[in-house]
C-alpha cells in the first residue's frame, strides 16, 4: 500500500537518484563527501579503489545531481549536493513513516486488546 | 517513540517486495487487527490527520474489501481487492488495486503471521505482475533505500545540511 502525497515529486529525478544510491560504494562516497569536498585521489585512497573506478562512480553521482565537481582542472573536487538527496530521503521517509506510524498504532491497539480480551471477537488463536 | 521494533524491507524474488515487523502480541490478535474493520480503522494509515473512513471487509475467499482514507484537506485515497486465501490466524492473501493507480495492474498481498514466545512476526509480501512493475515501484522510491541505506542517508542528510 502506498501513502498519499508522493506523486508530486519528479519521478525521473527520483529514479536516477535511487539508481545512484543503490550502490554501497556510492553511498559511502556520499557519506565521505558529507564531511567535506574531496578529490578523486583523496577518495580513491580510503576506498582502496583505483582512480578510474572512483571516477566512474562519481560520474553516476554527478548525473543524478547528487554531487557537483569543481572547475579546478587538477583536483576537480567533488562536493555533495543536498537537494536530490533530501527529496529521495523525504520519499523514503514518507513511505516508511506510513507503515511505521501504522504499526505503532497497531502496537498500541494490540496492547489494549491483550488487556481487554472481550474486544477480541470471534477469531481463535 | 516507545516502540523499538524495526521495519525491514526486502526483495525475496524478482517480482516481490516484503516488509517484516515483530509485534508483542499473539498472532490471533494480530490477525484480528488485520481483518476486522473496527480494528483496522484504529491503525491502518491513521496518521497526520488521515483516517480510514471507509473500511469494508467481506472476509471469505472471493470476498471483497474496500478501504478509503480521508485527509484533513478533503483528499481521498481508495483501494480495494478480493480475498484469495484465508487461514486464520496465520495467512491472508488478497489482491490490491488503487482507485488512482500508481503502478500498472493488480498486486497480490500475502500476510504471514508466525508466533513465537507470545510475539508475532508479520511478513507482508506484495507480488507485482511483472519484474518491470516491481522495479518501477522500487525505483520510484521504496525498498532498496529503505532496506539498506535509509539510516545512512538520514545521517548523511543531517550532516550535509550544515
Domain locations in chain A as residue ranges: 11-118
> Domain segments of chain B: what residues?
8-160
Q: How far apart are CA A26 and CA A50, in angstroms?
A: 14
Q: How far apart are CA B37 and CA B43, in angstroms?
A: 10
E strands in B63-158 = 64-70, 76-87, 91-98, 107-116, 119-127
Q: Check: CB of residue B81 under 8 Å from CB of residue B96.
A: yes
Q: How far apart are CA A5 and CA A72, in angstroms?
A: 41
Q: Looking at the partner chain, which of B96, B141, B152 has a beta carbon nearest the beta carbon of A18?
A: B141
Q: How far apart are CA B142 and CA A14, in angstroms?
A: 11
Average pLDDT rounded to a whole number, residues A101-125:
78
Choice between B96 and A6, residue whose per-residue pLDDT is larger: B96
Across chain A, which distance is largest between two alpha carbons, in Å? 74
Quote the minimal CA–CA distance from A68 to chain B in Å: 14
Question: pTM of the entire structure?
Answer: 0.62
Q: Looking at the partner chain, which of B48, B138, B145 has a beta carbon nearest the beta carbon of A88?
A: B145
Choice between B46 and A94, residue whose per-residue pLDDT is larger: B46
pLDDT digits (tens, 9 = 90+) for B129-143: 987 777 667 655 443
Residue A93 confidence class, pLDDT cut points 50, 70, 90: low
**Measured between beta carbons, which residues in chain B are less than 8 angstroms from residue A92?**
141-142, 145-146, 150, 153
β-bridge partners, B66 = B56, B80
Residue partners of B32: CB distance under 8 A and separation at least 6? A113, A120, A121, A123, B39, B89
What is residue B138's predicted lDDT score, i.e. its pLDDT? Answer: 64
What is residue B47's predicted lDDT score, i.e. its pLDDT? Answer: 84
Choice between B83 and B146, residue whose per-residue pLDDT is larger: B83
A56: part of which helix (H) or strand (E)?
helix A51-63
Average pLDDT rounded to a whole number, residues A46-54:
90
**CATH 1.10.10.10 holds for A11-118:** yes
Choice between B156 and A75, residue whose per-residue pLDDT is larger: A75
Q: How far apart are CA B153 and CA B140, in angstroms?
A: 16
- Across the A:B interface, residue pairs with CB atoms under 8 Å apart total 155
Quote the minimal CA–CA distance from A118 to chain B in Å: 12
**Measured between beta carbons, which residues in chain A are less than 8 angstroms from residue B39?**
109, 113
CATH fourth-level superfamily of B8-160: START domain (3.30.530.20)
Lowest mean pLDDT among A66-70, B2-6, B143-147, B155-159: B143-147
The CB density around residue B9, as the number of other CB atoms within 10 Å, is: 21
The CB density around residue B104, as the number of other CB atoms within 10 Å, is: 12
**Measured between beta carbons, which residues in chain A are less than 8 angstroms from residue B33?**
106, 109-110, 113
This model of the complex carries an ipTM of 0.78
Instruction: For chain A, positions 76-105, list CB contacts with chain B under 8 A.
Output: 80, 82, 85-86, 88-89, 91-93, 95-105
pLDDT at B160 over 80: no
Q: Check: CB of residue B51 under 8 Å from CB of residue B70.
A: yes
**Interchain contact, B46 vs A102, CB within 8 Å:** yes
Residue of chain A with shortest Cα separation from B17? A1
Quote the minimal CA–CA distance from B65 to chain A in Å: 14
Q: How far apart are CA A90 and CA A14, in angstroms?
A: 11
Q: Exposure of A22 by Cβ count < 10 A (0-12 exposed, 13-18 middle, 19+ buried)?
A: middle
How much of chain A, in percent, has pLDDT values that exceed 90? 30
Amino acid at each position: 500500500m502506498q501513502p498519499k502525497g508522493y506523486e508530486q515529486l519528479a519521478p525521473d529525478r527520483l529514479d536516477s537518484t535511487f539508481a545512484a544510491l543503490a550502490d554501497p560504494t556510492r553511498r559511502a562516497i556520499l557519506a565521505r563527501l558529507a564531511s567535506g569536498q574531496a578529490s578523486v585521489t583523496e577518495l580513491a585512497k580510503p576506498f582502496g579503489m583505483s582512480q578510474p573506478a572512483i571516477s566512474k562512480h562519481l560520474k553516476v553521482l554527478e548525473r543524478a545531481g547528487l554531487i557537483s565537481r569543481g572547475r579546478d582542472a587538477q583536483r576537480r573536487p567533488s562536493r555533495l549536493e543536498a537537494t536530490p538527496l533530501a527529496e529521495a530521503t523525504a520519499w523514503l521517509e514518507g513511505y516508511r513513516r506510513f507503515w511505521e506510524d501504522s504499526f505503532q498504532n497497531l502496537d498500541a491497539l494490540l496492547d489494549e486488546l491483550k488487556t481487554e480480551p472481550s474486544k477480541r471477537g470471534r477469531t481463535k488463536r | 517513540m516507545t516502540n523499538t521494533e524495526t521495519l525491514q524491507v526486502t526483495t525475496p524474488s524478482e517480482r516481490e517486495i516484503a516488509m517484516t515487523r515483530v509485534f508483542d502480541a499473539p498472532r490471533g490478535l494480530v490477525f484480528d487487527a488485520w481483518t476486522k474493520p473496527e480494528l483496522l480503522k484504529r491503525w491502518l494509515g491513521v496518521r497526520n490527520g488521515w483516517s480510514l473512513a471507509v473500511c469494508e471487509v467481506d472476509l471469505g475467499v472471493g470476498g471483497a474489501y474496500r478501504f478509503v482514507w480521508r485527509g484533513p484537506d478533503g483528499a481521498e485515497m481508495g483501494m480495494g481487492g478480493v480475498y484469495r486465501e484465508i487461514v486464520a490466524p496465520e495467512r491472508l492473501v488478497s489482491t490490491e488495486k488503487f482507485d488512482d493507480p500508481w503502478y500498472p495492474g493488480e498486486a497480490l498481498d500475502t500476510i504471514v503471521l508466525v508466533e513465537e514466545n507470545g510475539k508475532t512476526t508479520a511478513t507482508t509480501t506484495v507480488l507485482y505482475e511483472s519484474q518491470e512493475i516491481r522495479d518501477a515501484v522500487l525505483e520510484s522510491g521504496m525498498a532498496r533505500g529503505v532496506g539498506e541505506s535509509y539510516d545512512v542517508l538520514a545521517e548523511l542528510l543531517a550532516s550535509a545540511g550544515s
